[in-house]
Amino acid sequence: MTLSPDQAAQSLQEIEKTARRSAQAHEYAHSSPQFILWGLIWMVGYTGSYLLPNYGFIHGINWLWFALVVAGVVGSSILGRRRYRDLAPDAIAKAKAIGFRWGMTCLVFYVFLIATFAVMRPTSPAASGAFVPLIIAAIYAVMGIWRGLRFLYAGIAVGALTLGGWFWLPEYFLLWMAAVGGGSLILVGLWLRKV
């Protein structure tokens, strides 16, 4: 059996198209539990901040959120490790290196937030509670531009819901973020799992 250059080009295009779809679906499937985990953390954190606004602050640091972020990072790394389970040894080494870079990225992000709060001095817990999701929304949107439109939609949803709560429901903003912000992350996680 022989192939013409046109047929060969067509097959290569098919390979590229299917590989792109597969890689994207794979990325979505592994991101799904991470979205659900962080949605739950947002729910607990924002509900705690609303119900007990002065609880957990020691020397100006909000230990409730600090503990939740640490729990989230540990949970994320456990979920990430599940990703290694079936991989070949060389792919495990590569995945671990990527996981390490993600961990470092989270650390840089956390230090950036603390530094930003130290310089900008948010006027209320709600202001810092709005700033973080807006940054996260921007990160998702940028990821969406490069890695798959569903992340872009997630970024737009989180950003719009944060701004909506901030401007229209200022007195219930923290509760809004617990229910709608955390809830939307969980829904996005479930949506990605369906791909």
Partner 1 sequence: MAELNTIIHQPVRLKIMSALKALPPGDMLEFVRLKKIVEATEGNLGAHIQTLEEAGYVTVEKDFADNRPRTRVRLSREGRRAFEDYVAFLRGILEG
Member of 44, 95, 113, 156 binding partner 1 (CB under 8 A)? 95
Report the alpha-carbon distance of residue 188 to residue 161 in Å, rounded. 13
Output DSSP code: residue 57: E
How far apart are CB 85 and partner 1 at their closest, in Å?
Answer: 9
Q: What are phi and psi of 85, to 5 degrees?
A: -40, -50
Count how many residues are written for the chain.
195
Report the alpha-carbon distance of residue 101 to residue 103 in Å, rounded. 5
How far apart are CB 79 and partner 1 at their closest, in Å?
Answer: 15
Look-up of token digits 């495990």: 92
Select 85 or 121, whichever has its Cβ closest to partner 1. 85
Q: Which helix (H) or strand (E) holds 45?
A: helix 5-51
Total residues contacting partner 1 by CB under 8 A comes to 30
Member of 72, 91, 115, 173 binding partner 1 (CB under 8 A)? 91
Member of 52, 61, 70, 87 binding partner 1 (CB under 8 A)? 87
Output DSSP code: residue 149: H
- Nearest CA to 20 out of 10, 30, 28 is that of 28
Member of 58, 60, 86, 121 binding partner 1 (CB under 8 A)? 86
- Per the CB < 8 A criterion, the answer to whether 65 and 106 are in contact is no
How far apart are CB 42 and partner 1 at their closest, in Å?
Answer: 25
All residues at 6 or more sequence positions from 44 whose CB lies less than 8 Å from its CB, including other chains: 68, 178
**Which range binds partner 1 by CB under 8 A, 10-18, 33-41, 114-122, 149-157?**
10-18
How far apart are CB 82 and partner 1 at their closest, in Å?
Answer: 12
How far apart are CB 179 and partner 1 at their closest, in Å?
Answer: 27
Q: Is 12 in the site for partner 1 (CB under 8 A)?
A: yes
Select 29 or 134, whichever has its Cβ closest to partner 1. 29
* Structure token pair of residue 53: 């606004």
Q: Catalog residues that contact partner 1 under the rule CB under 8 A.
A: 1-5, 8-9, 11-12, 14-16, 18-23, 25-26, 29, 86-88, 90-92, 94-95, 195
